[in-house]
């Protein structure tokens, strides 16, 4: 769009505490109500479509979409699109315990014929602790990186050819340079999809994919 130029961006968020109080109680309708409150505010501000860069909150998306005033781009769908384009056949899913135990990623991956693996229960609990007790607080211990690398190695031994970084904070520790598997950074993939969609909203998701992959396919 030109130097320093980009589509207009508006943001609204409730406090993390409000969301986590609902999640701790298993109250996904409460999560959906918070998301819809943000959606209504952004709609009134003039937004054309919505994204939520929090993977865990997508567990409430089935309760959100029927009542939303605007279209949402789905973070797991964008990751699945990227995984399919890169030819991955089986991916490991990392994230909060709530996310990994949900069907948010399995549903979208399965729709595109991509298999998946979850870490074991103990691994999920430890990754959840790392996210909420360390990464959210801006602490990045090397021991936690080593732990995540071992989990990724285990997923690789189970036949995974890529790993989903299905939590906003995970790329603060894990990336292509220190992972034994290619990484699918959900946050960045959603941001790229949002930019592409903003530049061509009338084309739908297939047009978004054409924009995303056009350069690699020779269209400039």
Same-domain pairing of 107 and 119: yes
Same-domain pairing of 90 and 141: yes
Same-domain pairing of 69 and 82: no
Domain boundary among 73, 94, 128: 73
Tens of pLDDT, residues 91-106: 999 999 999 999 999 9
Whether residue 58 lies inside any domain: the answer is yes
Same-domain pairing of 177 and 129: yes
Tens of pLDDT, residues 14-54: 999 999 999 999 999 999 999 999 999 999 999 999 999 99
Of 81, 85, 86, nearest to 205 by C-alpha is 81
Same-domain pairing of 27 and 127: no
Same-domain pairing of 42 and 131: no
Same-domain pairing of 83 and 16: no
pLDDT > 50? residue 212: no
Whether residue 165 lies inside any domain: the answer is yes
pLDDT > 70? residue 120: yes
Which CATH number is 33's domain given? 3.40.50.1860
First to last CA, the chain: 15
In this prediction the pTM is: 0.88
By residue range, what is the domain housing residue 64?
10-73
Whether residue 216 lies inside any domain: the answer is no
What percentage of the chain exceeds 90 in pLDDT? 88
Whether residue 59 lies inside any domain: the answer is yes
Same-domain pairing of 58 and 116: no
Same-domain pairing of 121 and 58: no
Q: How many domains does the chain have?
A: 2
């Amino acid at each position: 769009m030109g130097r320093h130029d980009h589509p207009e961006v508006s943001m609204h968020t409730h406090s993390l505490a409000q969301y986590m109080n609902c999640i701790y109680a298993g109250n996904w309708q409460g999560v959906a109500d918070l998301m819809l409150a943000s959606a209504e505010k952004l709609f009134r501000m003039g937004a054309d479509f919505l994204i939520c860069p929090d993977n865990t909150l997508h567990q409430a998306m089935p309760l959100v979409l029927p009542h939303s005033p605007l279209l949402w781009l789905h973070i797991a769908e964008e990751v699945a699109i990227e995984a399919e384009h890169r030819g991955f056949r089986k991916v490991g899913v990392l994230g909060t315990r709530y996310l990994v135990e949900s069907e948010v990623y399995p549903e979208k991956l399965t729709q595109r014929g991509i298999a998946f693996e979850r870490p074991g229960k103990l691994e999920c609990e430890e990754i959840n602790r790392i996210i909420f007790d360390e990464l959210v607080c801006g602490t990045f211990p090397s021991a936690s990186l080593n732990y995540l690398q071992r989990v990724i190695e285990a997923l690789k031994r189970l036949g995974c050819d890529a790993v989903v970084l299905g939590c906003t904070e995970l790329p603060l520790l894990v990336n292509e340079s220190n992972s034994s598997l290619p990484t699918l950074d959900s946050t960045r993939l959603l941001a790229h999809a949002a930019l592409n969609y903003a530049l061509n909203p009338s084309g739908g998701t297939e047009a978004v994919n054409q924009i995303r992959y056009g350069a690699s396919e020779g269209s400039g």
